[in-house]
Amino acid sequence: MADDEIILSELDDEELVAQMFDDLYDGLKEEIEEATHILLDRGWTPYDVLTKALVGGMKVVGDDFRDGILFVPEVLLAANAMKAGMTILKPLLAETGAPRVGKMVIGTVKGDIHDIGKNLVSMMMEGAGFEVVDLGINNAVEKYLDALETEKPDILGMSALLTTTMPYMKVVIDTLKEKGIREDYIVLVGGAPLNEEFGRAIGADAYCRDAAVAVETAKAQVARRHNVGAGAR
Amino acid sequence: MSVPGRAEAPSDEALRDAGLTAEGRGRVLLIACGALAREILALKVANGWEHLDLQCLPAILHNTPQRIVPAVEATVAEARGRYDSVFVVYGDCGTGGLLQAACERLGVEMVPGPHCYSFYEGNEAFAAREEATAFYLTDFLVRQFDAFVWKPLGLDRHPELRDLYFGNYETLVYQAQTDDPALTEKARACAERLGLAFERRFTGYGDLGGVLGRL
């Protein structure tokens, strides 16, 4: 196959980034690892590799998923490839002090063990410069509360795949209200059976249809909150 | 496998992709998921429910719940004036309450419960189990495992994704509507393919018979 003949190290930067977009799209983990190393060796900052190559490539994947061109298996393979690149970049990003947009605590709600969507959101949020504390699956309200107190995030994210578990999000939000801390956090919710109406009904700040929407919503909400905070000073 | 009470037995593949057309007889139209066709027809014959007609939507909508509500709405609209009443034989089925809302808007009733796994077992009993780590298959879904699970998840092309999908599950629960040793063995093989423990649970038709019997 022609693709097998491409020598990544012989491509110039622009061609290599374009090739990384293709390789992410095709879920080629080893190629993404190799290309990430090449860009770093050429003096790219870890932040630029992340945002211009990996996040840029995943945006194409996300757009095609939204438009029904790609499906879940292909997105998972692409995400695996991106994760491999991020594993290389993460410690370097910490060393080089990449810009941080905000912090998010995220978890799948009690009674629900599904984490594919949540993991995608976590990864894309990290790619967008958020620090993410992932509580995993099957989280009771106490676990969320503990994490909010300890981590002091800007955002609480909750995920559910089941019709039977999604109402638990309201339990968490109502508990935040009872404790008088609801307004301290931006609450974002997502998951296959949810919709905007449900998000509004339970008192979330926003329902996020997919990982890309979650990132954009999170950025917008954090920026708005900062602006409001600045205006109050 | 033949379906009692109908001249032409629909195949699983037909029920999956096309559903089942109503016969145009009876005063109550059931609009059901194709995955329930055999079971509803068996109940109809066993109980002599001649007043019930059955129309099934393609069972494969199970994999795209966002398509269920518009399909049900269109079918209810087509049936207007041709029956005394319409009853929807779906659970919520991943529509996040939108199917219930649509039924209320259309003035038709539906089966209570989140999905067929729940009403086959009995909604109360199912809820009481609180089984977060169980993956369920019914008779139909065992027969159609590749079409509903294996291929749509891409496991035929990328078996390495299996544990991403199923790593948090522990048990495949086969809710058996019938006693069929061959089907039980197939269900057991499905569990092995997914890397899960296997449990067979005979449910029969659960709440379904009682609900339809009141129509």
Q: Calculate the alpha carbon distances from B90 to A204, A207, B35, B82, B183 in Å.
A: 28, 25, 10, 21, 24
* pTM of the predicted structure, to 2 decimals: 0.90
CA distance A56 to A51: 6
Triad A124, A128, A134: Cα angle to 5°: 50
pLDDT level of residue B9 (50, 70, 90 thresholds): low
Going by CATH, does the domain composed of A100-233 fall within 3.40.50.280?
yes
Strand spans (E) along chain B = 28-33, 52-57, 85-89, 109-110, 134-138, 171-176, 197-202
> Which residues in chain B are contacts of A192 at CB distance < 8 A?
65, 94, 96
Q: For B154, name the nearest residue in chain A, comparing CA atoms only.
A: A73
Boundaries of every domain in chain B: 12-117+206-213, 122-202
Q: What is the pLDDT of residues B87-136, one digit of tens each?
A: 999 999 999 999 999 999 999 999 999 999 999 999 999 999 999 999 99
Taking an 8 Å cut-off on Cβ atoms, the answer to whether B96 and A163 are in contact is yes
Mean pLDDT of chain A: 93
> What is the fold, at CATH topology level, of the domain defined by A2-6+8-98?
1.10.1240
B20: which DSSP letter?
Answer: B
Give ranges for CATH 3.40.50.280 in chain A.
Answer: 100-233
CA distance B75 to B61: 14
Taking 70 as the threshold, does the pLDDT of residue B6 lie above it? no
Query: Which residues of chain A, if any, have pLDDT below 50?
Result: 1, 233
Give ranges for CATH 1.10.1240.10 in chain A.
Answer: 2-6+8-98
For residue B98, give how far its alpha carbon lies from the nearest alpha carbon of chain A (Å). 9
Taking an 8 Å cut-off on Cβ atoms, the answer to whether A193 and B127 are in contact is no
CB-based burial label for A158 (10 Å; 0-12, 13-18, 19+): buried
Taking 80 as the threshold, does the pLDDT of residue B191 lie above it? yes
Taking 50 as the threshold, does the pLDDT of residue B7 lie above it? no
Architecture of domain B12-117+206-213 in this structure: 3-Layer(aba) Sandwich (3.40)
Q: What is the ipTM of this complex?
A: 0.87
Find which of B61, B161, B162, B163 to mutate to test the A interface (most A CBs within 10 Å of its CB): B161
Taking an 8 Å cut-off on Cβ atoms, the answer to whether B96 and A166 are in contact is yes
Taking 90 as the threshold, does the pLDDT of residue B11 lie above it? yes
Q: Calculate the alpha carbon distances from B146 to B94, B115, B143 in Å.
A: 20, 20, 8
pLDDT for the residue A226: 80
pLDDT for the residue B5: 44
Tell me the count of A-B CB pairs closer than 8 A: 57
Q: Which helix (H) or strand (E) holds A190?
A: strand A186-190
Find which of A70, A75, A164 to mutate to test the B interface (most B CBs within 10 Å of its CB): A164
For residue A194, give how far its alpha carbon lies from the nearest alpha carbon of chain B (Å). 6
pLDDT for the residue B4: 41
pLDDT for the residue B1: 42
